[in-house]
């Protein structure tokens, strides 16, 4: 289980490293926004913990610009305890908010609760299509649909954002990340056409000029 921590307090980082190791969690931490953006461009942890006020800015923008589209469970861990900030974080879509000082045991309990909740939702079904996100296997009428690795990753992006429109730019970034090849809008059109043909059912809706969406039935 990989957890990413953005925190500039070295004492907190060292304490969490000890607690997480004892609970079989792998923790990777950085202390500034620049390194956080770099890390998340190339990695997808199972859960993210964010301090809000960093030496080089505010992590709320990191959450809005990057993390929200990745659909990764996120906990804000911060000294900011005013009501407006807390409400704003939950409105943005965070999974939890803990104020400092805090108990490591409480944080671990909240992490376990979030991961358990997400585990229960790891198989998503719409119409007669079922996607097991843990195994990365797609079924139609309980028979496996064979997709390429890249097609599975594109489809998983849509399923992980069920009922939400995924922008074309986000899909382009995912294709570039996985292939390293230059891509354009035509590339997305080709891949989505192939996926739709293999599924044999039109569950992928085109949101004209914006992107694509799968709705949960």
Domains of the chain: residue spans and CATH: 2-120 (3.40.50.2300), 123-214 (1.10.10.10)
Higher pLDDT, 116 or 214: 214
42/19 Cα distance (integer angstroms): 26
Looking at residue 134, its pLDDT comes to 76
Give phi and psi for 54, each to the nearest 5.
-115, 165
Cα–Cα distance list, 73 to 26, 97, 196 (Å): 16, 12, 29
pTM: 0.56
Give per-residue pLDDT as tens, 62-112.
Answer: 999 899 888 899 999 999 888 898 998 999 899 999 999 888 888 988 888
86/135 Cα distance (integer angstroms): 35
């Amino acid at each position: 289980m990989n957890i990413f921590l953005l925190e500039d307090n070295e004492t907190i980082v060292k304490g969490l490293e000890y607690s997480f190791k004892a609970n079989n969690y792998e923790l990777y931490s950085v202390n500034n926004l620049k390194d956080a953006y770099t890390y998340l461009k190339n990695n997808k942890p199972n859960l993210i913990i964010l301090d809000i006020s960093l030496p080089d800015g505010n992590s709320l923008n990191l959450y809005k610009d990057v993390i929200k589209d990745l659909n990764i469970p996120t906990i804000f861990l911060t000294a900011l305890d005013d009501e407006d900030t807390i409400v704003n974080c939950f409105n943005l879509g965070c999974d939890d908010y803990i104020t400092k000082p805090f108990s490591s045991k409480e944080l671990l309990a909240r992490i376990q609760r979030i991961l358990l909740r997400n585990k229960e939702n790891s198989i998503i079904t719409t119409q007669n299509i079922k996607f097991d996100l843990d195994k990365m296997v797609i079924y139609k009428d309980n028979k496996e649909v064979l997709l390429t690795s890249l097609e599975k990753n594109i489809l998983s992006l849509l399923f992980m954002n069920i009922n939400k429109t995924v922008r074309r730019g986000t899909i382009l970034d995912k294709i570039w990340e996985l292939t390293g090849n230059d891509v354009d809008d035509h590339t997305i059109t080709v891949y989505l056409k192939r996926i739709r043909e293999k599924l044999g059912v039109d569950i992928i809706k085109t949101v004209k000029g914006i992107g694509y969406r799968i709705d949960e039935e």
